[in-house]
Structure 1
């Protein structure tokens, strides 16, 4: 690794109480985007920094790694995913300064999320935050078996992110703020992937075996809980000054939808029915046609890594066409079961 890049890595992780310098981060991005550049050496330098005793140095190293995961060449996260272990900071505690206790808590949570992000890449063989979205995207076209294997991996990563659980009053310094902004961007993309996977899951629900329906119901319930936690996370984002136009407005699916899914599973367990009774099918159609899993703003700033979603007015609310069309597709496919 060239001396200038090594210097940039070291200067991005100094013990100064400020976020990593954007210039140094840009130098590192340029380095790993270059052909035949050693991402291993850079990863080693940053990994070594996470073994420092200072919370400032460790936190900045984690922010730098996350920044490179998000904005750098895929070879970087690919290399991190190939390692047997990434960060072992579950016991990290800086007792040398008063703020070290509180910051150490967030370091432990943050490192766990980065570990899960790396592991998810290994299991899915792609960074789900960067995959294509929409009706012809990865999560909408995935078959049942892969969907049931992939969604729990995404949900585990998503839960680790939401467990960062910082209030606006705790985002007291530039390092914390830099970490939160990276988490915010990932949260929207992870939720989009989960949301599209859930739409696909519901689309396939009546064609599943009893065991698959049981697994799908567990995934769906976990999705509802994560959506509630995400709403709290987004409130913090708004409180720290992120433009409201860049924050999605979430709406809960009606309880009748969950009940319809439960009743269908119960009917399979009791009668081994391949398809549910007409009344249950009708209930599900009604629930889906009257629900929106997410209402998003017209601004797509945080999804700039992908093709922007074209939005339109729908009942006075901006709804992304891809999500709206997905719901329409669900209704249509469920109608086909009645024919």
Structure 2
């Protein structure tokens, strides 16, 4: 087994070296192609920052959109062709970091690309070279689903939840998120998208991004309760489902946080205080639905 793994490492290194050599000779985007290969090579370690920064530079707002589109195409090609779990995870990490840290042009082009192709839909990915590789393949697929959901959530919200700045103003105990101020229609559209994103996040266990998503959902639930008794029956039924799901997700998130709090890595993290929506309010919601107007809202009917 050890000999086989050594062979795979040597073979992976040879493939990376060959691809770098080909990029130097054949590519019109030589520096970018080399950076992508080196950032997503077969070495079992995180992508090196200097290579990732070159990818950031290639997708900056100052570059032609064609260059940004080529970068996405190159990453998609790298992801679709590999059968190695290390390369796949590192490619997803590069995409994730570029979404978070690079210019918005990358996200915009990635959204355009995902309409035509399916860069992150790798449900059939598997590396069966070892038991570890097989197990990691499942996480690769789950991670890709989370990133796909992240893009879908952006389509619905029209902003990136991770870029939100919850800065406290003077004398304020808490700055509300955008979901706290939404109207009924937008709230019922955005909360399910955020809940689905949180579901995918818990599945692949990406910790820090859960903080802002939870805060947005929590503020949205507070807003939902405030406007609930003005809703039509149709909207109230959707709101009830959102409220029920929020309660279940808080339980799952609490279990996830309990596991994470014991890690040295999270020692200095400020975990949000989780607040369970009162289960007693469910009965009140259900009673209202029985008497709620079929269409419009209570305020509009008065």
Fold equivalence (TM over 0.5): yes
**1:220 maps to what in 2?**
243
Count of aligned pairs: 256
Written as runs of structure 1 = structure 2, the 5 A alignment for 1:287-302 is: none
Post-superposition offset of 1:60: 0.6
CA contact (8 A) 1:81 1:118 kept: yes
**1:61 maps to what in 2?**
91
Written as runs of structure 1 = structure 2, the 5 A alignment for 1:112-151 is: 112-131=145-164, 133=166, 137-151=177-191
**2:22 maps to what in 1?**
none
CA contact (8 A) 1:131 1:138 kept: no
Higher RCO, 1 vs 2 (CA within 8 Å, ≥6 residues apart): 1
RMSD value, Cα: 2.4
CA contact (8 A) 2:58 2:71 kept: no
CA contact (8 A) 2:211 2:272 kept: no
User: Counterpart of 2:265 in 1: which secondary structure?
Assistant: coil
Counterparts of 1:220 and 1:110, CA distance in 2: 26
The answer to whether the aligner puts 1:164 opposite 2:197 as a matched pair is no
**1:15 maps to what in 2?**
42
CA contact (8 A) 2:177 2:216 kept: no
List runs of 5+ in structure 1 lacking aligned partners. Answer: 166-182, 276-339
* TM-score, structure 1 as length reference: 0.69
* TM-score, structure 2 as length reference: 0.77
CA contact (8 A) 1:29 1:72 kept: yes
Counterparts of 1:201 and 1:49, CA distance in 2: 43
The answer to whether the aligner puts 1:243 opposite 2:266 as a matched pair is yes
Counterparts of 2:163 and 2:155, CA distance in 1: 15
Would you tell me which structure has more helix in proportion to its own residues?
2
Counterparts of 2:36 and 2:104, CA distance in 1: 18
Post-superposition offset of 1:245: 4.0
CA contact (8 A) 2:46 2:90 kept: yes
Counterparts of 1:189 and 1:216, CA distance in 2: 21
List runs of 5+ in structure 2 lacking aligned partners. Answer: 1-27, 167-173
**1:205 maps to what in 2?**
228
Moved over 6 A (4+): 271-275
User: Counterpart of 2:95 in 1: which secondary structure?
Assistant: helix
Task: Flag the 1:120–1:9 CA change in 2: closer, same or farther, 3 A.
Answer: same
